[in-house]
Amino acid sequence: MRIGLVVNPIAGMGGRVGLKGTDGKVAEARRRGAEPRAPDRARRALSELADRDDVDLLTWGGGMGGDVAREAGFDPQVLGAPEGDDTTAADTERAVRAFVDAGVDLVLFVGGDGTAADVAEALEETETPMLGVPAGVKVYSSVFAVSPEDAAHVVRTFERTEHREVMDIDEDDYREGEVHPELRAVPLVPVAEELQSSKQLGGGNVEALAEGVADDIRASDKTFVLGPGSTVGAIKDALGFDGSPLGVDVWRGGEVLALDATESEILDALGEENVIVVSPIGGQGFVFGRGNPQLSPAVIRRCDLEIVASRSKLDTVGELRVDTDDPDLDAELRGWTKVRVGRVERRMMRIA
């Protein structure tokens, strides 16, 4: 199989430093100490394919694939290189068009929804399928595998393709707490169980749930790390403060310790006993790894976990998922867990 690999090396950099994306914010992300996320995600996927004699890897130069491909054990065919130090959407599209001209069977890309839209645009009017290794902050599209390892499994085993959705949002609106997903393309993607669903918005009435959780938080002396989204947002409202709707806030003892906090700010605010309160993404079921990279492995390991969701949201997901950038932590989190669905009610759900 001939695979064209393209990596967006800056994808996801803004997440842990509180920027909710990297579009137009690369310099600011670096100023805040952000580290590249996509190369390691690419390496994890490629390492699962490196022993396959039937994989012929084509890629783009430097950070767009060539470097990580060699680190993973490949001797790739490099068809070109980015034009500047910071890669652009145009670089991605040039790479993908070169892959198509070279007759690849699949374009494997590493990035987020913006990268997916760029790849899909370059593949328009072709029959070449695409598959995403998720590395962005916001990953709403259904063209991504659940994890880098799942992407490798899909590459090894898929036999047919289907059309799936590429969704994207305006990151400036996203930073202001507004989410307006836009359908950007419907490209061909491998058929596989290891692909995530498109994000669904909304989730039903959560008033009783929010009041119950807020009452418990007020009665506790623990530190609470409150994740993004409308469900946890209702808990913030019930606590009586104007939280960041798409960011992470930290609360303890009736006081907001951090608003729209970065990973380092969360770590600084943690106490002896800490609880993360998060809600899975509707339609996808992700608890960690989509939209909340500030909740890093370092943060998660210092906290207990409280998952909250309306019954209607859980009905759309089937099972929960995690993708923390730490495979060992993912394995520790998997299994059956209780999800709070009301003032006191809970439902057993499996983290797959």
Q: What is the pLDDT of residues 13-50, one digit of tens each?
A: 755 655 555 555 556 656 676 577 899 999 999 999 98
Q: Are residues 66 and 15 in the same domain?
A: yes
Long-range contacts of 86-89 (CB under 8 A, 24+ apart): 86/10, 86/26, 87/8, 87/9, 87/10, 87/63, 89/114, 89/118
Block residue for tokens 């800490």: 274
Residues 60-81 have a mean pLDDT of: 96
Tell me the pLDDT band of 178, cut-offs 50, 70 and 90.
low
61, part of any domain: yes
**175, pLDDT greater than 60:** no
Q: And the tokens for 292?
A: 């909340």
Domains of the chain: total: 2
117 and 12 both lie in a single domain: yes
> How does DSSP classify residue 61?
S
* Per-residue pLDDT, 34: 59
User: Looking at 268-277, 278-287, 342-351, which range is the least confident one?
Assistant: 342-351
Considering the domain architecture, whether residues 50 and 111 belong to the same structural domain is answered as yes
Question: What's the number of CA atoms in the CB half-sphere (13 Å) around residue 251?
Answer: 26
Give me the pLDDT at residue 204, please. Answer: 46
176 in helix, strand or coil? coil
Q: What is the CATH number of the domain that holds 35?
A: 3.40.50.10330
User: In which domain, by residue range, is 138 found?
Assistant: 2-190
Same domain, 19 and 153: yes
- Does residue 29 form part of some domain? yes
Residues 28, 170: one domain? Answer: yes
pLDDT (0 to 100) of residue 203: 44
**Which burial class, exposed, middle or buried, applies to 326 when counting CB atoms under 10 A from its CB (0-12, 13-18, 19+)?**
middle
Instruction: State whether 161 and 221 are in the same domain.
Output: no
Q: Does residue 274 form part of some domain?
A: yes
pLDDT at 281 over 80: yes
Rounded Cα gap, residues 291 and 343, in angstroms: 26
64, part of any domain: yes
Distance CA 172, CA 29 (A): 15
Read off the pTM: 0.66
Residue with tokens 């902050």: 137
Q: How do residues 200-251 score in pLDDT, each as one tens digit?
A: 544 446 888 999 999 999 999 999 999 999 999 999 999 999 999 889 999 9
For residue 201, what pLDDT is reported? 46
Q: Which residue, 131, 156, 190, sits at the end of a domain?
A: 190
Looking at the structure, tell me whether residues 11 and 110 fall in a common domain.
yes
Regarding beta strands 223-226 and 166-168, do their DSSP bridges make them parallel or antiparallel, or are they unpaired?
A: unpaired
pLDDT at residue 276, as a whole number: 98
Would strands 2-7 and 106-111 be described as parallel, antiparallel, or unpaired?
A: parallel
Q: State yes or no: pLDDT of 277 exceeds 90.
A: yes
Q: Do both 247 and 178 map to the same domain?
A: no
Asked if the structure places residue 237 within a domain, the reply is yes
What is the residue-averaged pLDDT of the chain?
Answer: 89
- Cα angle 17, 19, 24 (rounded to 5 degrees) comes to 125
149: Cβ contacts below 8 Å, ≥ 6 apart: 44, 45, 48, 327
**Residue 173: what pLDDT?**
57
Arithmetic mean of pLDDT, 56-80 = 96
What pLDDT does residue 180 have?
59
48 and 95 both lie in a single domain: yes
